[in-house]
């Protein structure tokens, strides 16, 4: 269940719903690159906890229209528009991986509308010391390229989209071989592998502009400081994460004034949400 919301000047914002249709509302922000289909991750836990999960494609992903030069701080307005269309006065937000900065932006801009905010293995700022310590070589290269030469962000994203559309199985097998053991185990589950394959294809449905611009966004100044956030923010981080290393989680946990951080010694980037979403959603909607 989902739809496409028409925003200003007819811009489209696509979303899917998961969990309990009558449950407590929670917006789920997908990773990078990603799509609304990642909300499927939360579906079993959301049904068990009576949570209504809304997962939207950010601009340039899936069925949502690209927005040139957008910033993280533009996202809360889109969330409010979707909340108004669905009749939500207050709601929780959670973001996995590349969705993390959008949780921070909402916590800063619209705290009065939020019942909870959670960052799950979330990307941290790159303009701080030791930001990429422990990060995989491939990610360090991509984010470093976007930071130093943003005009070159598009070609690798176009290639990634081509591979996702035409060689998804081979791409996933190659990725999994380089992952920590907990991530390999998580993606050995057929339903998880199928979901991530669908998501990787859907992310590039409209091309690579969305992923390329976000790569630049993550790599440069975010336009706000985590220290400005006043509301409580939960953070969950796997110590074996190579996509978003623990150094990023520790920095965010120290920078956000009212942060409740949980670190898992035996979890990676994918295994953390796969294995702990019931605990995470429960904390965000007061049922933990």
List, for residues 130-177, the tens digit of each pLDDT value. 899 999 999 999 999 999 999 999 999 999 999 988 888 888 888 898
d(CA 58, CA 36): 8
Lowest average pLDDT, out of 12-26, 65-79, 163-177, 235-249, goes to 163-177
- pTM (2 d.p.): 0.97
- Residue 153's domain comprises 2-284
Quote the number of domains for the chain.
1
As a whole number, the mean pLDDT across the chain is: 96
**pLDDT for position 288:** 60
**pLDDT for position 165:** 87
**pLDDT for position 8:** 86
Tell me the C-alpha to C-alpha distance, in Å, between residue 107 and each of 16, 141, 182, 208, 253.
Answer: 22, 30, 30, 28, 14
Q: Is the pLDDT of residue 287 over 80?
A: no
103: nearest Cα among 274, 284, 278, 267: 284
CATH of the domain at 200: 3.40.50.1820
Q: Is the pLDDT of residue 278 over 90?
A: yes
CB atoms within 10 A of CB 21: 9
């Amino acid at each position: 269940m989902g739809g496409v919301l028409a925003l200003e000047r007819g811009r489209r914002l696509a979303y899917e719903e998961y969990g309990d249709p009558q449950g407590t509302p929670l917006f789920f922000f997908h990773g990078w690159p990603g799509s609304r289909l990642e909300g499927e991750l939360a579906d079993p836990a959301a049904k068990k906890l009576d949570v209504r999960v809304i997962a939207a494609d950010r601009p340039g992903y899936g069925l949502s229209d690209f927005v040139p030069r957008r910033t993280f701080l533009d996202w809360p307005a889109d969330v409010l528009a979707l909340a108004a269309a669905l009749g939500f006065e207050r709601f929780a937000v959670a973001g996995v991986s590349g969705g993390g900065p959008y949780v921070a932006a909402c916590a800063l801009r619209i705290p009065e509308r939020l019942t909870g905010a959670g960052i799950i293995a979330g990307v941290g700022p790159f303009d701080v010391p030791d930001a990429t310590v422990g990060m995989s070589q491939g990610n360090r290269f991509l984010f470093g390229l976007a930071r130093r030469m943003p005009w070159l962000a598009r070609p690798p994203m176009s290639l990634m989209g081509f591979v996702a559309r035409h060689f998804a199985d081979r791409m996933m097998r190659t990725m999994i071989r380089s992952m920590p053991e907990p991530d390999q185990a998580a993606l050995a589950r057929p339903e998880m592998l199928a979901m991530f394959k669908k998501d990787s294809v859907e992310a590039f449905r409209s091309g690579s502009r969305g992923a390329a611009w976000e790569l630049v966004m993550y790599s440069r100044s975010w336009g706000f400081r985590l220290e400005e956030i006043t509301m409580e923010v939960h953070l969950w981080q796997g110590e074996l994460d190579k996509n978003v290393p623990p150094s990023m989680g520790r920095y965010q946990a120290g920078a956000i004034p009212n942060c409740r951080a949980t670190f898992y010694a035996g979890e990676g980037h994918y295994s953390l949400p796969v294995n702990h979403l019931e605990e995470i959603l429960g904390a965000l909607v007061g049922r933990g």
